[in-house]
């Protein structure tokens, strides 16, 4: 029996579109728009002025005093403007850089045999954040003063369509493992488990082969059941360690640290090659992309440019929805002029056959949402109370524990917009004392 959690759904993976495409390095486009809020927390403060010349890897946004992260230039060029632009989750300041195509860079010197403190400092200096989507700065996380029993590396990639982590695991196994060992060293973790869904057996095999070849100890890649949301950290922790961590408490206080495959990869680049976090691997996919690909793109590249690099739009199947992120939790955006950030994992152009657009109908009380809820909530009740404006009642039914994975809305035969109404209730009760 493969390890997993209770609940969850089995959406069609659609990973075949891009899973066999090697990671391709996309040249930085002529103009990049680098957002200063690429992470959870306070936006960075501009460290450059309009008209300044910058080089690749130069600090352009300094971390705000609290809860923030550095932002780096992804190309050489001249600052054209500092302006407010749209991101999937709101407006923020962007630094617009005109790329002059030069190859200069401001990379840091590689560290040889670093101490944990050096690793943590380098991770902070390079502006590394959790690249699975949450975007929490990594340095305070791995530097937390807690006894870490287990370091879990999240390679589940449970969202349909997305294949970027899979490609990293397969193509950059050595660098990935190097990064994981660095994180392990920094966090002083006793054991490392890499959780990978069993629809990626070759990734598991590649990592385990590398581990066996180099005789690494206390580290293993574990195949876990392919089920959404397996990559949600609490579900992954439960599947791999059996520990149930309630929402609201930190996993480190339970002796578990979770990091993402791409984050570990970035840590390797930062420590061993001195490369700041200004590029990432994304998957550009969907039925409306001519040639779905996995790309290494510079942050600040617009969706428009990335899709153009993949051959543009498939005219026979024009996109109906443009999604930043995966189809289960991503955000539908209205324009292609949105920049790739450190946390963008996927650009998804859904064609006519993929989007299904239904009218909401009455709840039939089938209870399927409660059966699939990975947090063991009752989404139909949360929805009903939210629609009725009884937000306090929704709180009594565990509103705050919802992880917004969308499993309930996926399975709902009545096509209720459950996540939407739960989010509404959450926003209405935010900041209110219980």
Partner 1 sequence: MNGINNPIIAPAPHFTKKGNTTRMTMAHVLIALAPVVIASVVIFGHLVILNVFFCVLFCMGFEILYNMLLKKKWNKQGLKDNSAWDLSSAVTGVILALNLPTALNIWGMNIAGEANANGIIPVYFSFDTVIACFLGSLVAIVLVKMLFGGIGKNFANPAMIGRIFLFIAFAGAFTGIYAGVGENGGILQGVTQATWLGEKFVTDAAGVTSLNINIPMLDMFFGRIGSAAVGEVCVIAILVGYIYLSVMRVIDFRIPLVVVASALVFVFLFDGLIVNTLSGMDYLRFVGMHALSGGLIFGAVFMATDYASSPKTFWGRLIFAAGIGLLTAIMRTWTSMPEGISFAIVIMNVVTPLIDKIIRPRPFGVAKEKKPKEAAANAGGTK
For the segment 122-181, give every residue that binds partner 1 (CB under 8 A): 160
- Complex with partner 1: residue 172 or 228, whichever CB lies closer: 228
Binding region for partner 1 (CB under 8 A) out of 41-49, 206-214, 219-227, 349-357: 349-357
Nearer to partner 1, 276 or 314 (CB): 314
Q: Is position 223 an interface residue for partner 1 (rule: CB under 8 A)?
A: no
Q: How far is the CB of 374 from partner 1 (least distance, A)?
A: 7
Strands 53-54 and 346-350: unpaired
Pick 165 or 395: Cβ nearer partner 1? 395
* 361 binds partner 1 per the rule CB under 8 A: yes
Q: Is 375 in the site for partner 1 (CB under 8 A)?
A: yes
Please state the closest distance from residue 30 (CB atom) to partner 1, in A.
Answer: 16
Residue 396 in contact with partner 1, rule: CB under 8 A: yes
Cis peptide upstream of residue 229 (ω within 30 degrees of 0): yes
Considering only residues 26, 151, 409, 425, which one is a binding residue for partner 1 as defined by CB under 8 A? 409
Q: Is 336 in the site for partner 1 (CB under 8 A)?
A: yes
Which one of residues 30, 367, 389, 390 is an interface residue with partner 1 (CB under 8 A)?
367
Q: What's the angle, vertex CA 182, arms to CA 284 and CA 299, rounded to 5?
A: 30
d(CA 278, CA 399): 36
* Site stretch for partner 1 (CB under 8 A), options 107-115, 133-141, 144-152, 414-422: 414-422
| Residue 398 binds partner 1, judged by CB under 8 A | yes
Regarding 426 and contact with partner 1 (CB under 8 A), the answer is: no
- The Cα 342–Cα 129 span in angstroms is 7
Smaller CB distance to partner 1: residue 217 or 356? 356
Q: Is 311 in the site for partner 1 (CB under 8 A)?
A: no
- Would you count residue 417 as binding partner 1 (CB under 8 A)? yes
Least distance from partner 1 to the Cβ atom of residue 136, Å: 19
Q: Of these, 30, 311, 312, 389, which contacts partner 1 (CB under 8 A)?
A: 312
Site membership for partner 1, residue 250 (CB under 8 A): no
**379-387 and 418-429 are packed helices; what angle lies between their axes, rounded to 10 degrees?**
60
Choice from 124, 319, 339, 383 touching partner 1 (CB under 8 A): 319
Among the listed ranges 58-66, 90-98, 168-176, 316-324, the one in contact with partner 1 (CB under 8 A) is 316-324
Q: Closer to partner 1 at the Cβ: 102 or 247?
A: 247
Site for partner 1 in 224-243 (CB under 8 A): 234, 238
Q: By CB under 8 A, is residue 86 in contact with partner 1?
A: no
Q: What are the strands of the beta sheet with 31-35, ordered from one edge?
A: 31-35, 90-99, 77-87, 53-54
* Count of residues engaged in binding partner 1, rule: CB under 8 A: 74
**Out of 358, 389, 390, 427, the residue judged to bind partner 1 by CB under 8 A:** 358
How far apart are alpha carbons 234 and 326 in whole angstroms?
Answer: 19
The CA-atom distances, in angstroms, between 25 and each of 247, 282, 377 are 38, 10, 43
Select 199 or 320, whichever has its Cβ closest to partner 1.
Answer: 320
Q: How far is the CB of 117 from partner 1 (least distance, A)?
A: 32
CA 81 to chain centre: 28
Stretch that binds partner 1, among 48-56, 74-82, 267-275, 408-416 (CB under 8 A): 408-416
Options 374, 385, 386, 425; binder of partner 1; rule CB under 8 A: 374
Q: How far is the CB of 390 from partner 1 (least distance, A)?
A: 14
Q: Of 131, 245, 267, 338, which one interacts with partner 1 (CB under 8 A)?
A: 245
Pick the binder of partner 1 from 381, 382, 385, 426 (CB under 8 A): 381
């Amino acid at each position: 029996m493969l390890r997993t959690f209770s609940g969850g759904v089995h959406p069609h993976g659609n990973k075949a579109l891009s899973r066999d495409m090697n990671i391709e390095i996309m040249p930085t486009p002529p103009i990049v728009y680098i957002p200063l809020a690429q992470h959870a927390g306070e936006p960075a403060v501009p460290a450059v002025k309009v008209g300044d010349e910058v080089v690749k890897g130069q600090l352009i946004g300094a971390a705000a005093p609290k809860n923030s992260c550095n932002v780096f230039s992804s190309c050489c060029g001249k600052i054209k403007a500092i302006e407010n632009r749209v991101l999937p989750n709101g407006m923020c300041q962007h630094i617009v850089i005109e790329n002059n195509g030069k190859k200069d860079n401001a990379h840091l010197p590689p560290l040889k045999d670093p101490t944990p403190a050096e690793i943590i400092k380098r991770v902070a200096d390079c502006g590394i954040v959790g690249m699975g989507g949450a975007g929490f700065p990594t340095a305070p996380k791995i530097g937390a003063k807690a006894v870490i029993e287990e370091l879990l590396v999240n390679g589940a990639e449970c969202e349909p369509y997305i294949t970027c982590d899979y490609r990293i695991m397969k193509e950059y196994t050595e660098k990935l493992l190097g990064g994981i060992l660095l994180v392990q060293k920094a966090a002083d973790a006793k054991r490392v488990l890499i959780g990978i869904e069993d629809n990626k057996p070759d990734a598991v095999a590649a990592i385990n082969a590398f581990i066996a070849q180099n005789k690494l100890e206390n580290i293993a890649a574990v195949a876990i059941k392919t089920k959404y949301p397996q990559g949600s950290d609490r579900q992954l922790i439960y599947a791999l360690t059996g520990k149930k961590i309630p929402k609201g408490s930190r996993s480190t206080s339970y002796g578990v640290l979770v990091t993402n495959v791409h984050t570990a990869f970035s840590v390797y680049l930062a420590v061993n090659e001195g490369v700041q976090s200004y590029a990432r691997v994304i998957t550009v996919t969907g039925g409306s992309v001519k040639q779905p690909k996995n790309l290494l793109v510079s942050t600040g590249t617009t969706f428009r440019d990335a899709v153009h690099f993949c051959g543009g739009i498939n005219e026979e199947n024009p996109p109906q929805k443009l999604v930043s992120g995966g189809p289960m939790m991503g955000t539908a955006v209205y324009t292609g002029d949105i920049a790739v950030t450190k946390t963008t994992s996927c650009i998804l152009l859904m064609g006519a056959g993929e989007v299904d657009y239904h009218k909401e109908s009455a709840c039939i009380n089938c209870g399927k949402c409660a059966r699939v809820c990975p947090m063991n909530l009752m989404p139909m009740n949360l929805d009903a109370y939210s629609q009725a404006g009884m937000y306090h009642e929704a709180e009594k039914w565990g509103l705050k524990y919802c992880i917004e994975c969308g499993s309930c809305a996926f399975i709902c035969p009545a096509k209720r917009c459950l996540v939407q109404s739960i989010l509404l209730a959450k926003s209405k009760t935010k900041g209110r004392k219980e």
